A and B are shown apart, each in its own frame.
Chain A
Amino acid sequence: NAGVTQTPKFRILKIGQSMTLQCTQDMNHNYMYWYRQDPGMGLKLIYYSVGAGITDKGEVPNGYNVSRSTTEDFPLRLELAAPSQTSVYFCASSLVAGQSGYTFGSGTRLTVV
């Protein structure tokens, strides 16, 4: 069971560079989410999707974009990386909204220098 797979695990970007964080789930979950976690803080929602073709902004969407062309994939795009985007990024999925079946990926540690 792969669950939620995130790549890469680590990345260093220079200011102004762009990159895509990949997220794939094999559980046929409709709901997918991207969170970021800064040191000493809880997770904050960046974007979420309730199904293929549907995405919506979370609490901290500025500087990011997402797409959901398939049920399995939910990539997060960073355009013009800034030091404020240095964080750990978690992708998650769930079958039912707000329930215990929330599965997290292992995270991507991103540093922008």
Chain B
Amino acid sequence: EDKVVQSPLSLVVHEGDTVTLNCSYEVTNFRSLLWYKQEKKAPTFLFMLTSSGIEKKSGRLSSILDKKELFSILNITATQTGDSAVYLCALGGSQGNLIFGKGTKLSVKP
């Protein structure tokens, strides 16, 4: 059975801290690994990773995929209160569906 496991499930940090969110998976034949940020409503897209070892970067956020060890990490540096959200990892299946992990709830305190 395809599985996506995120850790930790929740995390509380202070502004300015750096955090690393983890996503490990047991999914065969996936096309891509995606990271989403979910605040009050629908998930919003952050990154899509298809190749191992190539870092994607957007401002203070970065992510990398390791296809050999079957995991991905999402890094957030110099966290701000606006980074508080649930971060979802998902793998894109061959039918276009996404297989989601349970998410990591990040709380950034001022």
Contacts and interface: CB of A to CB of B under 8 A. Distances in A.
Contacts, number: 73
By size class, the interface of chain B is: 20 to 34
B102 A107 contact: no
B42 A42 contact: no
Interface residues of A, number: 25
Interface of B: 4, 6, 9, 30-32, 34, 41-45, 48, 88, 90-103
Given A45-B97, A48-B97, A50-B96, A102 B34 contact: yes
Nearest to A58: B97
A97 B100 contact: no
A100 B45 contact: yes
A19 to B, nearest CB: 20
Contacts of B96: 31, 33, 48, 50, 94, 96-98
A5 to B, nearest CB: 12
A74 interface: no
A12 B106 CA distance: 30
A22 interface: no
A45 B95 CA distance: 12
25 contacts: A33-B97, A33-B98, A40-B103, A42-B88, A45-B98, A48-B96, A50-B96, A58-B97, A90-B42, A97-B93, A97-B96, A98-B30, A98-B91, A98-B92, A98-B93, A98-B96, A99-B48, A100-B32, A100-B34, A102-B45, A104-B42, A104-B43, A106-B41, A106-B42, A107-B42
Interface of A: 31, 33, 35, 40-45, 48, 50, 56, 58, 90, 94, 96-100, 102, 104-107
A98 B100 contact: no
Contacts of B34: 100, 102
